[in-house]
Each structure stands twice: as C-alpha cells, then as structure tokens.
Amino acid sequence: MDVLVFESADSAVADVVDGSVVLVGGFVSAGTPSNLILALKRGGQTGLTAVANNIGLGDLLDELCEERQLAKVIATFAIRASGTRSSRFEAQYRAGEVELELAPQGTLIERLRAGGAGLGGVLTKTGLGTMMAEGKQVLELDGEDWLLERPLRGDVALLKAWRGDRQGNLQYRLAGLNFNPVMATAADLVIAEVEEIVEAGEIPPELVGTPGIYVHRLVQCDPVPVRWDG
C-alpha cells in the first residue's frame, strides 16, 4: 500500500485539529522534524499538547509558543538549570499559560512504546521515592516496589528520517533515530519529513528503521539547521 506523498509540509499538517496530542520526534538537533514543526506554526492550530524530548534548547518547538499554540508539554528537558537563558516556553510556563509534565527520558520512551505496542503500562524503578512518583501507583511484587507508568499515545506523530520510500519505509541517519521509531508506532496519524523520497526497494530491507505500515504521510524537505544554543 502506497503512502500519501504531500507536496509541502504545510499541506501535510493542514488537517491537524486544535487540541491534538502531537508526538514530536528528535533530540535537540538530531532527527528533529523542524519543517513539520514550522508548518504547524504557520497552520496556527491551538490547544496542542506536545510530547517531545526537549523544548527551548535552541529547538524550533519553542516557536509554537510565539502564538501560544501549546496548552501542555510532556518532555524531559524543559527548564534550564541556569537562569542565564530563557525560552518562550519557560516564560509562558512561569506565567501559568502552559502546563508542563516532566518525565524521565527512559520512562517517556517506554510509555510511548507501551502506547504503540498495545500494553497497559510499564513497571519501573525509575522515579521511586521522588516527585515523579506522586499520584502514581506503586506495586509490590515479590517484595520489590515498582512504579506503574501508564501508556502514552498521540493523535499525530511528526517524525524526521533521512530517506523514505513510497511504501512509507523510513531509513534514519546517524543518531537521528532517538524517539522517532517508537513514536511512529504510537499515533493515529504519522507524518514523516524526509530528505529524499525514493522508490520502494531502494532502501535495503535490513536498513529500514521504521516499517512502512506505521507511516501515513511523507513529505520531502531540506533539513532546517538547528543547533543547541548552549
């Protein structure tokens, strides 16, 4: 089954509705779907919940704060330890205009994996005895405590890969995998920006990082240069 190839990032995200939960792949500059993020900015959708590793570290997700499109962020890096630099997100968070749910990185990825894999949750030691355990169930199994973390899914996932073929198979580049392959499994609508669209068969099967059945839309975009601003 062929994937839908869109002519532009703007058209690929045009029907994302207000209030959607949007999974955003990438880790600072690596494997980050910056073209799709900027398309959402131009699209003007509001009330969004963004699920991403980071916001406000020189990444473009912070741009969605310019017109207050985010209602909530679920992330692992959100507020810098030092107050010398501040993001738009941080200013809105301090003003009480956007909600933040911070999650340990290993827990965030397993919640997404559970969401994509049809599992009811994850039991982890991470976060036990800390603020992360507040309001969550602790299960004692064979005399050991485990923190129950619930699955997380998105309405939409925005991914970045190096190449995509017309069946939606994705091939990643270097450390560009990070959150992308798991997020591909955990959303109802999966949109990937790729540097090149190729015919089926051009990506050797053993180098497919995300099998095409997870991917609904592809758009070819030149990568946007992004770098952590320190």
Partner 1 sequence: MRPGPGALGRLNIVTAQPPTGLSRELIALRAARELERGSVVNLGIGLPTLVAGFVKPADDILFQAENGILGYSGISDSEFDSDLINAGGQPVDLVPGASFFDTADSFTMIRGGHIDAAILGGLQVSARGDLANWFVPARGGGSVGGAMDLAVGARKLIIAMAHVTRDGEPRIVEECDYPLTAERCVDVIITDLAVIDVRDGGLSLRETAPGISPEEVAEWTGAGLLIPDDVAEMSL
Q: Does residue number 96 form part of the binding site for partner 1 (CB under 8 A)?
A: no
Q: Does residue number 120 form part of the binding site for partner 1 (CB under 8 A)?
A: no
Cβ 42 to partner 1, closest distance in Å? 22
Stretch that binds partner 1, among 13-21, 27-35, 151-159, 214-222 (CB under 8 A): 27-35
C-alpha span between 123 and 149 (Å, rounded):
6
Based on CB atoms, which residue is closest to partner 1, 19 or 125? 125
Q: Does residue number 151 form part of the binding site for partner 1 (CB under 8 A)?
A: no
Q: Are 136 and 104 in contact (CB under 8 A)?
A: no
Structure-token pair, residue 24: 């955003």
Considering only residues 49 to 88 of the shown chain, the ones binding partner 1 according to CB under 8 A are 53, 57-58, 76-81, 83
Q: Are 53 and 29 in contact (CB under 8 A)?
A: no
Q: How far is CA 86 from CA 69, 90, 135, 181, in A?
A: 18, 6, 29, 30
Q: Are 87 and 125 in contact (CB under 8 A)?
A: no
Cβ 198 to partner 1, closest distance in Å? 18
Based on CB atoms, which residue is closest to partner 1, 16 or 147? 147
Which residue in 227, 196, 229, 223 sits closest to 29, CA to CA?
Answer: 227
* Contact with partner 1 (CB under 8 A) among 15, 130, 200, 202: 130
Which residue in 94, 89, 70, 67 sits closest to 78, CA to CA?
Answer: 89
Stretch that binds partner 1, among 10-18, 40-48, 127-135, 196-204 (CB under 8 A): 127-135
Q: How far is CA 184 from CA 16, 113, 188, 217, in A?
A: 16, 10, 9, 11
Q: Would you tell me which residues interact with partner 1 (CB under 8 A)?
A: 27-32, 53, 57-58, 76-81, 83, 90, 93-94, 100, 102-107, 109-110, 113, 124-132, 172-182, 209, 223, 225-228
